[in-house]
Amino acid sequence: MKRVFGVATVVAFVLICNGVGAREVRVITSFLPLYCFASNVAGTAARVDCLLSANVNPHDYQLSVKDRARVEAADLVVLNGLGLDNWVHSVLRGASANKRIVTVSDGLSNELIRHSGVPNPHIWLDPLMAIYCVTNIAAALAEVDPEHAAMFAENGSRYMVRLQQLDAQLREELQLFRDRPIVTFHDSFPYFARRYALNIVGVIEEVPDVAPSARQRSRLYATIREKKPRCIFAEAQFSSRLAEQIGEDLHVDVAMLNTLETGLLKPERYEELMRENLRTLEAKLK
């Protein structure tokens, strides 16, 4: 007796054989750079989301009920660590044993991440440290979804080549400004400055969201007069009023550097914003 299979049955069989219909791995990242890293590694094999929207800063963020549900539903949670995204930990304490959590800074030596005696979380602003983060994400994805491990490895390798190219471009174009003094708004750029030999001689807000005391401000003014930086760099995510006041008082130009903590969620945004920072530095340090 001849069996007759309907078209729908055949299509369903083909889709199953090709893995279509299998549950999509869900990845949630804490903020923009990690979203970019994870998206480039995952490719089409996983769904990557970011907890923070384009205009929300990760420092001291408060999770909403919706955010908690997204973390709970994720198979993989990607964190920066070093104190930046501790606000996720309250959800993770009761997480399922099946949920994988990767902290991209894990494994970095204390010598690399300590600045002024304490760990500084802004590791993503050094593209070579970003490569280290990508390797941690690729390994975690392979654990969560072994069937796509080869794809994650290939995607990660391609992305790391792009990050190496970004580093090479930054290194070549910033060598003209080696040891050039700069002032930043927060202590956000020590890894970037160390990698590309810039000299951060002062920071406006030594503690984020805490205006400098009269004594700190006086010391900063004295440093600027002595070191003569060509530019004070404010941050796009914060008011530039104080930086502009200092610049006006001391006749120093003011421009914006981006810490990449917020921005449009698209996989290539990390590279775009790093190159925007490069153009700003080239324009202001000449």
Residues 104 and 122 sit within 8 Å (Cβ to Cβ) = no
Question: 209: Cβ–Cβ under 8 A, 6 or more apart, which residues?
Answer: 59
CA-CA-CA-CA torsion sign (154, 157, 161, 163): positive
- The predicted structure's pLDDT at residue 115: 66
Residues 102 and 79 sit within 8 Å (Cβ to Cβ) = yes
Residue 276, SS3? helix
H or E element at residue 24: none
Helices (H), 175-240: 190-196, 214-227
| DSSP tag of 212 | P
Q: Which of 143, 124, 146 is CA-nearest to residue 133?
A: 124
The 10s digit of each residue's pLDDT in 236-267 is 888 999 999 999 999 999 999 999 999 999 99
Q: What is the pLDDT along the chain (286 residues), one digit of tens a residue?
A: 444 445 444 434 444 444 445 679 999 999 999 999 999 999 999 999 999 988 888 987 889 999 999 999 999 999 999 999 999 998 998 777 789 999 999 999 887 887 667 889 999 999 999 999 999 999 999 999 999 999 999 999 999 999 999 999 999 999 999 999 999 999 999 999 999 999 999 999 998 889 999 999 999 999 999 999 999 999 988 899 999 999 999 999 999 999 999 999 999 999 999 999 999 999 999 9
Q: Which of 28, 130, 27, 30 is CA-nearest to residue 84?
A: 30
Amino acid identity of residue 1, one-letter, is M
* Angstrom distance (rounded) from CA 149 to CA 76: 14
- The predicted structure's pLDDT at residue 56: 87
The 10s digit of each residue's pLDDT in 69-116 is 999 999 999 999 999 999 999 899 877 778 999 999 999 988 788 766
- Torsion angle of alpha carbons 271, 277, 278, 283, nearest 10°? 150
- The predicted structure's pLDDT at residue 198: 98
pTM of structure: 0.91
